[in-house]
Amino acid sequence: MTASPEELFSFCATGSFPWDKKQIEETAKARKSLTVCIIAGQVVAFSNLYNVVPGESAFIGNVIVGQDFKGQGIGKGLIKHMIEVCREIYDAVPHLSVFNFNTRALLMYSKLGFEPYSVAKHISPQGESVALIHMRLTQRI
């Protein structure tokens, strides 16, 4: 589902391109509520939770939608589902992190009620400084 090292960095900054089965398995061991969206037998989107503290907070992570399926509302539906998982299963406030260059995701998260509360500097695969924007859901959707 990842087309380039840059795309992989945008949803899994610690991953190595190509994101292979072994890396996915390692991610699965460290994360909770691994979720996929399947259309016509094909996995087209993926997400999970990390840093889950029941009764407090949970981070939605590794959000990716296949290139051919972007712009169809799949990402929005996946995020809404992950918000529900945070609330219903963990009684936790949903958080997420997104890089500054991922404008499409930033706008979607903002529209869904997420607001920034912190920024961390990271170095991209090209050696450039980028901002990882931490957001939390502040509105009910």
Q: Which of 55, 111, 50 is nearest to 87 (CA)?
A: 55
Residue 41: predicted pLDDT: 94
Its CATH class, for the domain covering 5-137, is alpha beta
Question: Mean pLDDT in the chain?
Answer: 89
pTM for the full predicted model:
0.86
- Percentage of the chain modeled with pLDDT above 70: 88
pLDDT band at 5 (very low <50, low <70, confident <90, very high): low
Q: Where are the domains of the chain?
A: 5-137
- Which residues contact residue 117 at a Cβ distance below 8 angstroms, ignoring those fewer than 6 apart? 134, 135, 136
- Residue 125 pLDDT > 90, yes or no? no
